[in-house]
Amino acid sequence: MPITDVAIRRAEVRKKPYKMFDGGGLFIQINPHGGKWWRFKYSFAGKEKLLSLGTYPDISLKDARDRRDQERKKLANRIDPAVNRAAAKAAWAGEQANSFEVVAREWISHRAVSWSASNTTKTTRRLEVDVFPWLGNRPIADITPPELLSVIRRTESRGARDTAHRVLQTCGQIFRYAVATGRAPRDPSFDLRGALSPVKGSHFAAVTEPKAIGPLLRALYDYQGNIETRCALRLAPLVFVRPGELRKAEWSEIDWETANWNIPAERMKMKEPHLVPLSRQVIDILKELHPLTGRGTYLFPSPRTKKRPMSDNAVLSAMRRMGIGKEEMSGHGFRAMARTVLDEVLHVRADYIEHQLAHAVRDPNGRAYNRTAHLPERRQMMQMWADYLDGLRTETSSEKHKNSY
């Protein structure tokens, strides 16, 4: 006789488990602690088997009967419900292993080897905020171009157009990684070219006109704040390294005998060690700074603790206090200044400049130059650059600096 919902609710709890049968192989087992489990009993290939259908009351009597009927249909088609369920679980596990988020984090772990810590953090955070909440659990092979576009549109709709383009670019790299590792048939981001609103190209603000460089340098030299920041401001245009490379500079990296600054690979964007020849002007600034911070690790320690370098806003904030606007000069702008003037005014060979900027420079055979390549020429270039800047600052620059390389 079929059981009723009332009978299930009123079922007494006994010392041992017992069963209440409904028919067609369906029964509910009442356990000593009060739990009520639905079971489906069936035979397949001459063997009796049990299949769990969930617990009561989460699974109602009607739901349990519907599930029983579904399993009986499989039996009618000579499908073993238990084997079918195991295959479904395995497929689901495979989908989760190949979900967008899993593949994306794997891609990040591979790329992080050659990335800076800040780039890894920014890329991961961008995906966590703008992509994972909507696509993270989706099998990467099943994501379609319209589905991807709808997610990117969320970022675009809040006015973050540049971020939207960056997110789309990152997703494309992840999809191509999935294709390369056999987990996706194609890259759907390829079909979204031109789908987003265009972003006006932007560059780091920089002063590149010689007539404007002189006043800028005089402002930097007249800075009245602490010595560490004043020295950083004076060094920035002379060595034109990236802002993070300058503020994290360590005294152990300065070779006084050879007048070189050896920056280790882990601090460089391209994860390759970099060598900066030091002009006489740079050495003079370092000698001024050394009595103050030379006993510690960093050239420019944080004012709060000597165990950390100065903040990434220290130099920028100083420039802003001097009235140098963000549309006029940025921390990266000293690199653009050097590249433009060394090339267009001083006519230095482009590969010398690019190598000193720590860009990817290769020889005619496609091999990357090592950090000491063209060192004599680069040392001469760095001294000429320092002399040229001194001339602009003191308004004594002349044609004698315009030597061709």
344 touches 329 (CB < 8 A): no
DSSP3 helix / strand / coil % (the chain, rounded to 5): 50, 10, 35
- Going from the C-alpha of 235 to that of each of 225, 348, 394, the distances in angstroms are 15, 21, 17
Sheet holding 47-56, edge to edge: 18-23, 26-30, 36-44, 47-56
Catalytic residue among 65, 153, 369, 401: 369
242 is annotated as an active-site residue: yes
Largest CA distance in the chain: 109
Residue 159 zone, left/alpha/beta (φ > 0; ψ -120 to 50; rest): left
68 touches 26 (CB < 8 A): yes
Extract the runs of DSSP E, i.e. beta strands, from 17-138: 18-23, 26-30, 36-44, 47-56
Exposed, middle or buried: residue 146 (CB in 10 Å: 0-12, 13-18, 19+)? exposed
Q: Which two tokens stand for residue 22?
A: 């409904």
269 is annotated as an active-site residue: yes
| Dist. CA 353–CA 338, nearest whole Å | 8
Catalytic residue among 85, 126, 269, 290: 269
335 is annotated as an active-site residue: yes
| Dist. CA 116–CA 37, nearest whole Å | 53
158 is annotated as an active-site residue: no
34 touches 92 (CB < 8 A): no
Exposed, middle or buried: residue 292 (CB in 10 Å: 0-12, 13-18, 19+)? middle
Catalytic residue among 41, 105, 176, 332: 332
248 is annotated as an active-site residue: no
Catalytic residue among 39, 67, 68, 242: 242
Catalytic residue among 359, 362, 400, 402: 359
- Alpha carbon dihedral 366, 368, 373, 377, in 10-degree steps, equals 70
From the list 369, 349, 347, 374, the residue with the least C-alpha distance to 359 is 369
- Going from the C-alpha of 330 to that of each of 95, 242, 319, 323, the distances in angstroms are 46, 11, 9, 13
Those residues with Cβ within 8 angstroms of residue 202's Cβ, 6 or more apart along the chain or in another chain: 162
Q: Known catalytic residues?
A: 242, 269, 332, 335, 359, 369
